[in-house]
Amino acid sequence: MKIIIGAGNTRQDGWIATQENELNMLRRSDFERILGENKAEAFLAEHVWEHMTYEEGVLAAKNCYDFLKPGGYIRAAVPDKNFRNEWYQNMVKVGGNGDPNHPAYTHKIVYDYKTFKGVFETAGFTVELLEYCDENGDFHFKHWDEAGGKIGRSLRFDTRNKDGRLGMVSIIIDAGKRA
C-alpha cells in the first residue's frame, strides 16, 4: 500500500490519496483506521510538513516510521529556506503573504535541508537528500525516479523552472526505514 498524505488534487497510479481529515499525521488512530494491521510500503507528502511546528513534524515522522514496513520509505518535500528568490521567500514564509485564502497562510516553519533531514533522522529514518539549496543558495540535485512518488514542485516537473532558471524548488528527501 502506498499513501499520499495531504494529497489535495494530486493523484498517482498505484497510490491512495488522503486528505488531512482522513489521515492526520499527528493522530496514530488515523493511521490505525486506514491501515488496520497492515503497514504501508511508502508515503508521499508534498508540501505538508511546513504546516506543522518542528515538534509536530517529528511526531508526524515518528508515526509514519511506525506504520511503514521495514524497507519502506517516505518521500517528502517542503519549501526551501535557502532558495535565493525574494518572491519565493515572501510566498513560503511563516504566515505566507498574509492572505488567509492562500495555502501558505498556515505555514508554521520554513526548513533548511539540515533541519528537515533532522526531523526524519530523529524519528529513526535514514535520509537521502534529493533536491535542496545549501547555505550559499547553490542548488543540488540527485536523480530520483518519479515512479517512487512524483513531486510536482521539483526541478524537473515544475513549469516555473525553464530556460535554465529556477523559479520553484523544494527540499526533497527520501527517508527510509531499515529492513
Domain boundaries in the chain? 2-176
Work out the number of other CB atoms within 10 angstroms of the CB of residue 29.
Answer: 8
At residue 173, the 3 state secondary structure works out as strand
Question: Mean pLDDT, to the nearest integer, of 112-130?
Answer: 98
Please name the residue that has the C-alpha cell 501558505.
Answer: 104
List the grid coordinates of 69.
514496513
List the grid coordinates of 83.
532558495
List the grid coordinates of 106.
498556515
Specify the pLDDT at position 82: 98
Average pLDDT, the chain: 95
Please name the residue that has the C-alpha cell 525553464.
Answer: 162
Question: Mean pLDDT, to the nearest integer, of 139-146?
Answer: 97
Specify the pLDDT at position 98: 86
Compute the distance between CA of residue 82 and CA of residue 112 in angstroms, rounded to an integer: 6
**Fold of the CATH domain 2-176:** Rossmann fold (3.40.50)
Q: What percentage of the chain has pLDDT greater than the value 90?
A: 90
Question: Mean pLDDT, to the nearest integer, of 156-178?
Answer: 95
Please choose, from the candidates 89, 94, 2, 10, the residue with its C-alpha nearest in 3D space to the C-alpha of residue 54.
Answer: 94
